[in-house]
Structure 1
Amino acid sequence: MFTIRPARPSDRDSLYRICLETADSGADASHLYRDPLLVGHIYAGPYLAHAPDFAFVLEAGEEACGYVIGAPDTRAFETTLERQWWPALRARYADPTNLPAAGRTPDQRLSHLIHHPHTAPQRILEAYPSHLHIDLLPRGQGGGNGQRMMGRLLTALREAGSPGVHLGVGGRNTRAIGFYRHLGFQELSQGSGGSLTLGLRL
């Protein structure tokens, strides 16, 4: 039996684990990173710490097997992280700017992101100021769990007054792209490597 509940601070380890085990275009990326916490530091931890009202966990019994997380005001969230989240991580992880981008290891690429985090284009934020991430382990996929989780977060964003939400997805993750399109997300832009930014009006 699967249940969806608000995330708690004690879920941190579970969210980091799920984040890592879905980070290779939906597949387990544990073999790619020497530091298993790096992916979670960027894509999971900030939301649990700084947008907890928009973080929900999919639970099977007592075990978390998925999450959906987001922020209603992306620009304000980015500003908060710049002040309260990234400084401690920057002191812990060196910026590999002395290495050519093509020669960096997966860990070094993420360390670079800690020092130079992605910021959303203003042209996207004007209509889609919120953003989200959803990750489900294989045991949590199917059966409508993903759709129910998205519904829970989208409702929270609507209630917060958001007019629209966007997300990023890798071009190789065709299953996720199909899932988002089924929910009504439309392509907003295409990035390098085929990555897509999709948006949904709320």
Structure 2
Amino acid sequence: MANDDHQAFLIRGYRRSDREAVRKLCCDTGFLGDPIDPVYEDRELFADFLTTYYTDHEPESCFLLEVDGEIRGYLLGSRKPLRNQLYALYQNVWLFFRALTRYFRYNARSRRFIRWLLVHGWREVPAAPRRTPHFHVNLLPDARKVSTTRALMSAYLSYLYRSGEKRVYGQIITFESRRGEKMFERYGFKVLNRAEMRVRE
């Protein structure tokens, strides 16, 4: 396929050998599309929280964007919401204790981010539809194009259709000039809930 700048790209399924590249991309785009480092310094825990379930327990639902042989974006999805939620219960407890053991070694911004997560973060995320597949998309700045996003979405939606799924949801964070819900309305998505997030750099 060619993207908006006529540069060839490839959408493909996730492979086990992609794990570290996906984790790095997650951290490189983890704060409103920018690197997470100014907000939270622990890339290992951040990537564990956002990617481990998908890459390790439901890799068949993950799709990657490759440009010139390099991973520039991903869509991590789940068709098994109950399994995902059960894993999240276990994972959240495990990650909490891991973060607790590191807390006093973190810098002030990282400690502030942990406090925000514990006090506000869970309340500022809109409620998700129950028993419904979902997805999470991240692209590096040079790969954020209508064509690449559309290709990732089409690959995932086709996969869901072939698997007999009839609904899917995604949670997106929009701000200022970043493309928001209009992009997803093209695929038939509707806004079910909104919440304001007040995390600051």
Q: In proportion to residue count, which structure has more strand? A: 1
- Bucket of the pairwise TM-score, normalised by the shorter protein: 0.7 to 0.9
The counterpart of 2:98, out of the listed 89, 92, 101, is 92
Aligned match of 1:53: 60
In the TM superposition, what whole-angstrom CA distance separates every residue of 1:60-106 from its partner, at most 9, and x where no partner exists?
Answer: 122111000111132221113434x455534422288xxxxxx9522
The reply on whether 1:40 has 2:47 as its aligned counterpart is yes
Q: Report how many aligned residue pairs link the two structures.
A: 181
Aligned-pair identity (%): 23
The reply on whether 1:189 has 2:196 as its aligned counterpart is no
Aligned match of 2:149: 146
Secondary structure, aligned partner of 2:179: helix
Map 1:1-202; keep pairs closer than 5 Å: 1-83=8-90, 85-86=91-92, 88-94=94-100, 104-109=111-116, 112=118, 121=127, 124-125=129-130, 129-142=132-145, 144-172=147-175, 174-193=178-197
Gaps of 5+ in 2: 1-7, 104-109
Q: Residues 51 and 176 of structure 1: is their aligned pair in 2 closer, same or farther, counting only changes over 3 Å?
A: farther
Q: Give the C-alpha shift of residue 33 in structure 1.
A: 1.6
Secondary structure, aligned partner of 1:178: helix
Q: Give the C-alpha shift of residue 163 in structure 1.
A: 1.7
In the TM superposition, what whole-angstrom CA distance separates every residue of 1:121-142 from its partner, at most 9, and x where no partner exists?
Answer: 57x226xx11100111122222
Higher relative CO (Cα under 8 Å, sequence separation at least 6) belongs to 2
Do the aligned partners of 1:75 and 1:120 also contact (CA within 8 Å) in 2?
no
Do the aligned partners of 2:75 and 2:152 also contact (CA within 8 Å) in 1?
yes
Q: What is the root-mean-square deviation of aligned Cα atoms in Å? A: 3.0
Q: Give the C-alpha shift of residue 188 in structure 1.
A: 0.5
Could you tell me how far apart the structure 2 residues matched to 1:153 and 1:49 are? 18
- Report the TM-score when normalising by structure 2: 0.75
Gaps of 5+ in 1: 97-102, 195-202
- Report the TM-score when normalising by structure 1: 0.75
Could you tell me how far apart the structure 1 residues matched to 2:58 and 2:188 are? 24
Could you tell me how far apart the structure 2 residues matched to 1:80 and 1:169 are? 22
